[in-house]
Each structure stands twice: as C-alpha cells, then as structure tokens.
Amino acid sequence: MSELQREVSELEKKSATAARLFDIRRIIGGLFTVYGIIVTVAGLTASDADLEKAVGVNINLWTGLGMLALGLFFLIWLWLRPVAPPTPAPAPPAE
Amino acid sequence: MRHLADGPYLADGLRLPTNGLDYTILAIYFAVVLGIGFAARASVRTSLDFFLSGRSLPAWVTGLAFVAANLGATEILGMAATGAQYGVAVVHWYWIGAIPAMVFLGLVMMPFYYGSKVRSVPEFLLQRFDRPAHLLSSVLFAFAAILIAGVNLYALSIVVEALLGWPQWVSIVVAGFFVLAYITIGGLSSAIYNEVLQFFVILAALIPLTVLGLKRVGGWDGLTGSLEKSHGSDFLSAWGGTGIGDANPLGANWLTIVLGLGFVLSFGYWTTNFAEVQRALSAKNLSAAKRTPLIAAFPKIFIVFVVMIPGLVAAVLVPKIGTAGSGLTYNDAIPLLMQELLPNGVLGIAVTGLLAAFMAGMAANVSSFNTVFTADIWAKYVVRDRDDTYYLRFGRIVTAVGVLASIGTAFLAASFSNIMGYLQTLFSFFNVPMFVVFIIGMFWKRASVKSGFWGLVAGTVAAMVNYFVIYKQGVIAIPTDQGANFVSAIVGFVAGAVVMVAVTLFTAPKPEAQLAGLVYGTRSPGMEEAPSEGDDAWYRRPALLGWGAVLLAAACYLPYSF
C-alpha cells in the first residue's frame, strides 16, 4: 500500500462527515415547500395584469404547485427512507 | 466551459419589475445558504472532511452537484446566447460535447481516480508521473480557478446591476462574502449541498420560462415556423451546413465538431477539470463515485432544452438580437424573457436561481482551488509533514484568501475585460493536453515518468501556437474563433501524444510495482471491497446507466439531424 493510500485511509477513519453531516433532503424539502406555498398563494391572488403578462397562463399557480410537490416528495422520501446509521465495525468473533 | 458571447454582457433597459415578494424569496435563499454552511460545520473534523466531504456522500447528491457545478450562470446565459446566435447547433455542447466524456469518466477513469485514493486531479499526476508534472498542473489549475471565480463574480455584478439596479461593487462584495462564509465554515459538504439546492432552484426558474416562451411564439411549430422564415432551415438542424468546406455560422465542420469539441475539448474538461472531478471523489464508495458523472449525464441531456428554447424564442421576439440595431446582445436572451413573461413570484424564483447559479459557479472553483493549493502545493512543496489540524486550518485560511483574490480579479475584470477574455482563452489551452497525458498515462504502462511533464508542455504550446499564430495571423483561414478553438484542441492533443511517445522511448519506465491501481489492467490494493448493500440493484449498475445515457443522447439527435 502506498504512502498516499495509508494517509487517506487514516483520515477516512477519523472523518466525521458520514456520522455528523445532516441530510440535504430535509433542506430541499423544507425550502421547496415554503417556496411552493408562497408562489401558489401568489398564483391564487394573481391580478389580471399578471395573467396577461404570462400569456394567459397562471404561471405562479402551476410553478408553485410544482415546487410544493417537489418539496413534499423530498420530505416523504426522507420520512420513508431515513439514512441508515453507519454500520458499526464487525464485532470480534466470540471465543 | 462556455464563455459568454462577446460584447457587453447585458444591455441597459432590462431592469426587472421586482417587488417585495421577489426579494422575500431571494432573502430566504440567502438565509438557507448560510444555514447550510453553519449546519455542516459539525461534520468537519479532518482535512479530508473539509476538502472531500470525508469521501462519504451518496451518489445522487454528488451526481446532482456534478451537473450543478457546471451549470453556473455564465454557462446558462452563454448557452442561451449560443442558441440565439447559432440555433439548434447548441445541442452539440451537450449531446456530443458532454455525455460521452461524462460516461467515459464514470465507467473507465473513475476506478483509477477513486481507487488510488488521490484527493485531487494533480495528485494523480504525482502518483503516475513526477513532481514537475504535478507542480505545473497544480499551479496552473490554482490560477485558472481564481480567474474563473473572479470572472463569474464580475459577470454576476453586471447582470445584477442590469436586472436589479444594484451597483457593481455591492453585488461583488455581497456574493463574495456569502461564498466565503459557507465554504470556510462548512467546507466541500456545504458547497456540494448548496449546488444540489441550486440545481433545483434553477430548474424551477428555467422550466416556467421555457413553457411561457413557447406559448408566446405559438408552441414548437410556431417557433420553428418563424425561425425557418427568418433564419433558414439550417438554424433548426444540428448538422445542417456542417459539411467540410460549407459555410455555417459556427465556423466548424462535422469533423472538427466531433474530434475537437466532442473528443478533445469535452474529454479534457469533463475528465480532468478538478472542479468537476472533486464532486465524484467525495462519493462514499467506488460504486457511488462511478455513478456520479453517470447520474449527472441524464439531467445534462435535457437541460439543453430549457436553455436553447429561451434562446430561440428570443431570436423570434427580437429577430435582430445581437446586432447593433436591436440594442440587445445575445446574452440578453434569458433576462429579456424574464422581463417580458414572468410575473412577480416566479420572477423572484428566476432571480434567485440566476444568483444561485452565479454563486455556485464561483463556489465550485473556490472549493477546488483551496484543495489543490493546500494538499498539492502547500503540503507537498512548502510546509510538509505537519499534523492534519494544521492543514485543516490552513485550508480555511486559503479559502478566504482565494475568495478575496477572486473579488480582486472581479474588480480587475471590470476595468480590463479584454485582458480577462484573453487570459481565459489562454488557460483553456492548458486543459487540452491534460486529457492526452491522462489517457496515455492510464492506458500505456510503458509511458515514462518524464513523459507526463513534456506532454503537458508540448500540447499546451502547440494549441497556443495554432490559435495565436496560425489562426490569428491568418496563416490558415478558419472562419470563427469557435472553429479555431476546436482545431487548436485537436492540434494540442496530437502534439502532446507524439511528444509523450517520443520522450518515453528515450527515458526509463516507472517500476511496475508502483503502478498498481494507476494504469489499466492493475488494481489498487484494497479495491476488492464488496459492494455495499443495495449497490447491486439493476438500476444502479454503472454500465447500464452509462450506455443508457449515450444511447439517449444519440436518440435526441435524431429529430434534429434530417
């Protein structure tokens, strides 16, 4: 094993990312749910000028609902499949 | 990989009618960006955590970050500009100019990169070749990363000034500060998480813009109908007018597109640019590292539509876009549609997406710069053999120095934008021989330790001579800079290969024992680890993902080729 391999393997053992880094699905889910609600409400209260600008499409409503769906998708995914805790090193065989 | 079109970045008079709702959306995003940085801090214990996320992230995260690191705002605005200028030919930068290289990186090169446990692309050169090759590529990469980060920041300030009316220095300092904060605190994990978030926000901005743009010009049929009348049918075909000797606006024929863009330039960028490869090296195991560029390939295939269509729509709405008469440059395509079509709310999302893309483009360069500067330059040539906490602290300081240097570069770019364009062209030629050195080093055991350095030098010089002397002095007529770029890449590749072979024949090979895991046909010790649970599922098989992406990209060409 080369010197580099030894050094990086050592660091991998001490690394804290796997155990302590939070799950990004929570952030994506949270942000898109909030954005989805804000933009959907903007769509529900759209003025005629807004609609006219967006060539007759209530784009805020559709985009808001889309973002809301994406946000909920990430939250449900997180809820259904939480990250498995890091596997502990195999126990030494019993005598 | 794509610069903005020439000329002023944005025309005046594109001020967006933003209101409090849009600014609320923007403010929430900035708060989340900082929050991610602080929340990731607890996970940084070693330098490996800071520079490579401890090699522990899942493949879907690194894959989306891989594509987002490339999806900077200069890329988005620049590709929409290319669409408005050259038409459907912009698909070449995606389907032939990205997908094959990404698949090659995942299926063929990743076992050597990830398995050898190198922490950066230059470090691989140190293992396979020698210190001169390593130092040369590290230093050039560090300079190029700061330059690109600075240019990104400068482009951001121009766009923000035009769209929101903020003075340039305000946006340079604010964006620089946010990037500095979240990378210094959270390291690569924070950069990668923000890239994943940016990926979704930019899509949430571009998809509504594309839908409304199409509706505005009467759908796809309306779009193609008007463009056929105004620009001719070649504008709507990927290969129309690219026969050798034919004239076309791109200034390139099918051969230089396939070899220059599709092979040399694209493989050089996607497989050896550390700002990209770093994302794959932070994956949690070899299977996830291989899948990183493969997962990225699928969004990459389809992103071209949400970038090209706004460009084409802009060419319909303002037929003279890009000429002096219209008052608009090609780069204005997306901002123009934002102004014309998006009501408040979605407009805020679009502004947020654009700013996020600028910051991610800068952050990808800063987070790769700090790794190369610390692990490759400082720890190997300046202060060696200190304990890990020293290098972790040094990495944080270098991140701050890198951001400050980018801010300085951005201010310089504001005064000397021509020099910046020139420098970017200059550095782009360095990427070309990187690929030839890697490919020969990985596949030819005999390639000697000295051949790497001389291959890099010869390829770079040949590409530059071809571009600056043979093309610019008019020795050989090539219609456009773009076409000349493709030809220079091919020349650099061939020269690098020839010199490597020649040097190898006269110098000693590397002892076989030291090549384990670095050359095709050898294995790294410890690579035989069993796949972790679930990695053997059929939809996670790298070969299936990779070949699926290639076939899909080829199929996408069909409607635009006849």
Average pLDDT over residues B16-45: 93
Q: Look at residue B46 in the predicted model and tell me its pLDDT.
A: 92
Average pLDDT over residues B19-30: 93
The band of B207, judged by pLDDT with boundaries at 50, 70 and 90, is: very high
Q: Is residue B3 part of a domain?
A: no
Q: If you count them, how many residues does chain A have?
A: 95
For B470, counting Cβ atoms within 10 Å of its Cβ (0-12 exposed, 13-18 middle, 19+ buried), the class is middle
Which residues face B283 on adjacent strands?
Answer: B57
The answer to whether B112 contacts chain A (CB < 8 Å) is no
Average pLDDT over residues A63-69: 97
- Determine whether the interchain pair B43/A4 forms a contact, defined as Cβ–Cβ distance below 8 Å: no
For residue B307, pLDDT beyond 90: yes
Q: Is residue B1 part of a domain?
A: no
Enumerate the domain spans of chain A.
21-80
- Determine whether the interchain pair B127/A28 forms a contact, defined as Cβ–Cβ distance below 8 Å: no
By percentage, how much of chain B surpasses pLDDT 70?
Answer: 94
Cα–Cα distance between B339 and B346 in angstroms, integer? 11
Mean pLDDT, chain A, integer:
86
Q: For residue B424, what is the domain's CATH number?
A: 1.20.1730.10
- Residues B18, B194, B183, CA angle at the centre, nearest 5°? 110
- Domains: count for chain B: 1
Q: Look at residue B59 in the predicted model and tell me its pLDDT.
A: 94
- Determine whether the interchain pair B57/A64 forms a contact, defined as Cβ–Cβ distance below 8 Å: no
Q: Look at residue B1 in the predicted model and tell me its pLDDT.
A: 44
Q: Look at residue B7 in the predicted model and tell me its pLDDT.
A: 47
Q: Is residue B7 part of a domain?
A: no
The band of B416, judged by pLDDT with boundaries at 50, 70 and 90, is: confident
Q: Residues 305-344, chain B: which have Cβ within 8 Å of A?
A: 340-344
- Determine whether the interchain pair B196/A24 forms a contact, defined as Cβ–Cβ distance below 8 Å: yes
For residue B482, pLDDT beyond 80: no
Q: Is residue B6 part of a domain?
A: no
Q: If you count them, how many residues does chain B have?
A: 562
Q: What is the pLDDT of residues B419-432, one digit of tens each?
A: 767 777 777 787 78
Residue A61 C-beta-side C-alpha neighbours within 13 Å: 11
pTM of the model: 0.92
Q: Look at residue A68 in the predicted model and tell me its pLDDT.
A: 97
Q: Look at residue B9 in the predicted model and tell me its pLDDT.
A: 54
Q: Look at residue B343 in the predicted model and tell me its pLDDT.
A: 92
Cα–Cα distance between A26 and A87 in angstroms, integer? 22
Q: What is the pLDDT of residues B245-279, one digit of tens each?
A: 776 767 778 888 888 788 888 888 899 999 999 99
Q: Which residue has the tokens 């502990």?
A: A88
Q: Is residue B301 part of a domain?
A: yes
Q: Look at residue B277 in the predicted model and tell me its pLDDT.
A: 95
For residue B150, pLDDT beyond 80: yes
Nearest to A4 among B117, B193, B212 (CB): B117
- Which amino acid is it at B198? Q
**Domain of B303?**
20-520+535-560
Q: Which residues contact B202 (CB under 8 A, 6 or more apart)?
A: B68, B71, B76, B353, B354, B356, B357
Nearest to B39 among A22, A60, A63 (CB): A22
Cα–Cα distance between B410 and B156 in angstroms, integer? 10
The band of B562, judged by pLDDT with boundaries at 50, 70 and 90, is: confident
For residue B93, pLDDT beyond 80: yes
| Other Cβ atoms within 10 Å of B433 Cβ, number | 32
- Determine whether the interchain pair A20/B123 forms a contact, defined as Cβ–Cβ distance below 8 Å: no
Average pLDDT over residues B46-57: 93
Structural tokens at position B229:
């009348």
Nearest to B208 among A8, A16, A63 (CB): A63
Q: How far from chain centre, in Å, is Cα B465? A: 25
Q: What is the pLDDT of residues B378-406, one digit of tens each?
A: 999 999 889 999 999 999 999 999 999 99
Nearest residue in chain A measured CA to CA from B186? A21
Q: Which residues contact B129 (CB under 8 A, 6 or more apart)?
A: B437, B441, B449, B450, B451, B452, B453
For residue A90, pLDDT beyond 60: no
Which residues face B57 on adjacent strands?
Answer: B283
Q: Is residue B8 part of a domain?
A: no
Residue B283 — φ and ψ, nearest 5°?
-70, 160
- B5, B101, B36: which is closest to B323 by C-alpha? B5
- Determine whether the interchain pair B118/A28 forms a contact, defined as Cβ–Cβ distance below 8 Å: no
Helix (H) or strand (E) holding A40: helix A24-44
Residue B423 — φ and ψ, nearest 5°?
-65, -40
- Determine whether the interchain pair A38/B345 forms a contact, defined as Cβ–Cβ distance below 8 Å: yes
Q: Is residue B379 part of a domain?
A: yes
Q: What is the pLDDT of residues B272-289, one digit of tens each?
A: 999 999 999 999 999 999
Cα–Cα distance between B211 and B350 in angstroms, integer? 14
For residue B155, pLDDT beyond 90: no
Mean pLDDT, chain B, integer:
88
Cα–Cα distance between B61 and B74 in angstroms, integer? 23
Q: Look at residue B348 in the predicted model and tell me its pLDDT.
A: 94
Cα–Cα distance between B50 and B69 in angstroms, integer? 17
